[in-house]
Structure 1
Amino acid sequence: MIGTYRADPFGTVTLKEDGTFSATDWPEFNYPKKPKHGGHGSGTWKLRPAAKNSLMSDDDVNLSFTDKQFLDGDFQDQRSSFSFGVTGSRVKPRMYRFVTDPDICELHTLRRE
């Protein structure tokens, strides 16, 4: 998972071997309006493997920002922690999360460069 990921629609996250990360141009979402540029931050990340008996087959990466919060979803909730599902391959991993209701299918996706 270590490496730099470019986000869709914008932003970059670099996961470091020591369990820290840095993010630049982090997007804040307000469905159905366009996301806005939220700024930058840093913190810690953790990989949580999927449970063997779970209906969810993807692993999760949790990003916890230090001393920084970003607006999420409807611009009413300030959060400092975001969980992303992990999909793809070892060569081309992707991280994703649903921005709002999963039925709407708007995703915040990061692809490793």
Structure 2
Amino acid sequence: MGWKETLKEEGLLEVEDFVIEVSIDSECLCKDDQIYPAVLVYDLKNEEVYYLDEPFEPVSNFREALDQIFEWFERYKNGEKPLMKRSPKKSAPEDVIKRFLKAINSLE
């Protein structure tokens, strides 16, 4: 099974030092009552949790969320740096971002 199918079926993907979890954020206190993709990145090496803080568009379902995630992963493969954060004011360390990009680039 390919990595995209694994994410579709399980919502989780383990790649190198990371576990990537995709869901939809339906508990958001959004004024527009929209739901958005949510991506958590568990760094197994450092035992830390990060999230992708990309400008995701509202979605209607999990499949639409996955489509956006796949697009962002392609952007990362093409050299775009991910907006990974530990908290709203604290970005992921540069070494974690580099390892994450290496992991994403290993996906076929």
Please tell me the TM-score bracket, short chain as reference. 0.3 to 0.5
1 or 2, which has the higher strand percentage? 1
